[in-house]
Amino acid sequence: MADSRDRVQLVKPLRFGPAVEVWEARLRGRRVVARRFPPEGPPPGWPPPPDPAVLRAMNHPTLQRFLGEVRDDEGARIQVFAWCEGRTAAEVARDGVPLSPARCLSMVREAARGLRWLHERGPAAPRLHGDPSPGNLLLDEAGRCTWLDVQAWEPGRPPGGTGVVFGTLPYLAPEVLAGEPPTEASEVFALGLIALEALRGPLPWARAGSPSEVLAGRSLDPPDPRLPGAPEWPPNAVTTLHAMLSRDPSARPSAGEVVRGFRSA
């Protein structure tokens, strides 16, 4: 467990953003992931760092393990997570080779287990992942899935302020793109899009740069797994995925229902 006596050695930058830097790092000789937040706080419209007390409770095989929080000499908060081997679903998608239907079924089932734990079963539930997207879903050689970058937000609260859209645009639910706060249902929708992309290849609106562009792209090519050209899946899995992609949040299954629907596929 990282504490104030530990020194985190930042080794290589992995991703820089306006509110957080993500680094490959070393802690007590171990390879870890370090998320460094600016000491002056997040820019306007960006959510604060996740609560470390909540992250400590995020103990599930499908979630990247939180090791603790320290501060550097500048007073910046550094949250430390276990290093996970594998490739993200985004990296797999960039290869241009869709996952096999069986591998995709397994991916969705395991990813839904993690969302179910956050939404329904964890000690701090209900909590949200915060940004369920292919870049935050790691696949390893053994077929396991791990959610990265868990924010552990409370459902129904706008993370960056009223009307602020936060997340990876192509995978946001329509109600979130319209400015409503994220909920468990919006994260189920995002997982449905991750599955659809893994089956069919890149989403037609993947390069959209605004909520309106995403919605316009979806109106031309609705996210429907039953469209011609989609690989064959068992009927109950297609039915479950189709419900996950409903425009109506109340018509979407819960993460637990997704697990059950894909377990029987």
Q: What is the 3-state secondary structure (H, E, C) of the chain?
A: CECCCCCEEEEEEEEECCCCEEEEEEECCEEEEEEEECCCCCCCCCCCCCCHHHHHCCCCCCECCEEEEEECCCCCEEEEEECCCCEEHHHHHHCCCCCCHHHHHHHHHHHHHHHHHHHHHCCCCCCECCCCCHHHEEECCCCCEEECCCCCECCCCCCCCCCCCCCCHHHCCHHHHCCCCCCHHHHHHHHHHHHHHHHHCCCCCCCCCCHHHHHHHHHHCCCCCCCCCCCCCCHHHHHHHHHHCCCCHHHCCCHHHHHHHHHCC
Position 111 scores a pLDDT of 97
Position 262 scores a pLDDT of 87
Q: Is 0.85 topped by the overall pTM?
A: yes
- Please state, in angstroms and rounded to a whole number, the distance separating the CA atoms of residues 10 and 21: 10
Position 264 scores a pLDDT of 64
Position 87 scores a pLDDT of 93
The string of pLDDT tens digits covering residues 248-262 is 999 999 999 999 988
Which residues of the chain have a pLDDT value below 50? 4, 228-229
Position 4 scores a pLDDT of 47
What structural domains and CATH numbers belong to the chain? 8-82 (3.30.200.20), 87-263 (1.10.510.10)
